[in-house]
Amino acid sequence: MLKKVKKFASVLGTMIAGIFGAAVPAFAELQSQDPSQLTNRIIDLVNKVGVPVGGALLFLSVCVAAIELIMSRGRPEKRAETMSGLLYVAIGGILLGGALFFAGVFFGIGKNVFGS
């Protein structure tokens, strides 16, 4: 019985702390901002977080595939399966790079057309 009460109290305390932790910033005074600041923040976020994370995932995928390729020595069917996995990694890298390229192109066109 005491364990249930302790568990309930800890869950209730966590919920209350979470509610107040989320609600306090929400009740802070809002400041008006320019929409261009939002786009600049999104672009900065993608550049600072998205690109390194995507690059790290690509690098990790290539490393894992290389280790699997080394481990599949002497088994042609396992080696072919690993090589097909590398094809998917390459396609993913091309898609990520292409998406970043086209996002940069469209952002540049938008800046030239609408000014900023």
Q: CA torsion, points 97, 103, 105, 110, in degrees to nearest 10?
A: -170
Residue partners of 78: CB distance under 8 A and separation at least 6: 68, 72
Per-residue pLDDT of the chain (116 residues; tens, 9 = 90+): 667 767 767 776 776 666 666 555 555 566 677 776 777 787 787 778 877 888 888 888 888 888 888 888 889 898 888 888 888 888 988 888 888 888 778 777 777 777 65
Q: What is the pTM of this model?
A: 0.54
Q: What is the rounded CA–CA span in Å between residue 48 and residue 18?
A: 28
Token output for 26: 């929400």
What is the reported pLDDT for 14?
76
Tell me if 69 sits within 8 A of 82, measured CB to CB: yes
Instruction: Name residue, tokens 């609600």.
Output: 23
